[in-house]
């Protein structure tokens, strides 16, 4: 928890309680269904929760918005973002049902009410549009963008000057070739400019706008 409170302080008591419950819930469920690597579970707040919240440090999602987490796995970045933005609706999608069982159990255990889940490939999500697609290291950018674009609203209720609908993904390493192959012109933000921990040295937020 110290990792989070080092950078964020404006939480309600309910949010603090929800964040504090994540460690025990994920530790318990990870023993049954492995969704976080064994070596990472001890660094859950830094490597998973705080990493997810780098999106919250860069984007101010508005109440009533709908966001889909593509290939959510164990619930990252969707679960921490849902706690951070309690008035935003998060739809967490994954093709592996047992991972969603962990997400649902964690959401219930922590009292997170603004999460829905769907056991599906992202290509099979139909008849819904979202303000943003978020994702963490699921696939190459060209595939993420191909899957995301049909799901995005053409315009959003964002205040003037704020980024419009788009894909927001967390990636690491040398991304130049991946970006080139995607044929997109993303905005690239370095997580190390937000969080000083060594883990974030080669981590980036990639934003591809819908327009």
Q: How far is CA 74 from the centre of its chain?
A: 11
What's the half-sphere exposure (Cβ side, CA atoms, 13 Å) at 97? 1
Q: What angle do CA 57, 59, 60 make, to 5 degrees?
A: 100
- Nearest C-alpha neighbor of 209 from the set 148, 157, 122: 148
Residue 57: DSSP 8-state: T
- Look at the block and give the residue holding tokens 């962990």: 102
Binding-site residue positions: 71, 76, 122-123, 136
| 3-to-7, 25, 51, 52, 202 alpha-carbon distances in Å | 7, 18, 10, 12, 18
Binding-site residue positions for S-adenosyl-L-methionine: 71, 76, 122-123, 136
Cα(165)–Cα(211) distance, rounded to whole angstroms? 8
Q: How far is CA 150 from the centre of its chain?
A: 19
Using left for φ > 0, alpha for ψ between -120 and 50, and beta otherwise, residue 152 falls in beta
- Look at the block and give the residue holding tokens 């697609």: 133
- Contact assessment for residue 125 and residue 151, using Cβ atoms and an 8 Å cutoff: yes
């Amino acid at each position: 928890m110290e990792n989070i409170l080092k950078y964020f302080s404006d939480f309600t008591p309910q949010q603090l309680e929800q964040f504090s419950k994540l460690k025990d819930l994920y530790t318990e469920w990870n023993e049954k269904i492995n969704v976080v690597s064994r070596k990472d579970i001890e660094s859950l707040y830094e490597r998973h929760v705080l990493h997810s919240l780098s999106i919250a440090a860069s984007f101010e999602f508005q109440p009533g918005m709908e966001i889909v987490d593509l290939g959510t796995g164990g619930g990252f970045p969707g679960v921490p973002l849902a706690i951070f933005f309690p008035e935003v609706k998060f739809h967490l999608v994954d093709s592996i049902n047992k991972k969603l069982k962990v997400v649902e159990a964690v959401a219930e255990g922590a009292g997170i009410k603004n999460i829905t889940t769907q056991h599906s490939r992202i290509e099979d999500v139909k008849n819904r549009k979202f303000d943003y697609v978020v994702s963490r290291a699921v696939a190459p950018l060209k595939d993420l963008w191909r899957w995301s674009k049909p799901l995005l609203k053409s315009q959003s209720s964002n205040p003037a000057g704020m980024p419009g609908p788009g894909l927001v993904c967390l990636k690491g390493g040398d991304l130049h070739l991946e970006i080139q192959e995607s044929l997109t012109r993303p905005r690239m933000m370095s997580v190390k400019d937000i969080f000083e921990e060594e883990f974030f040295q080669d981590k980036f937020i990639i934003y591809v706008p819908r327009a």
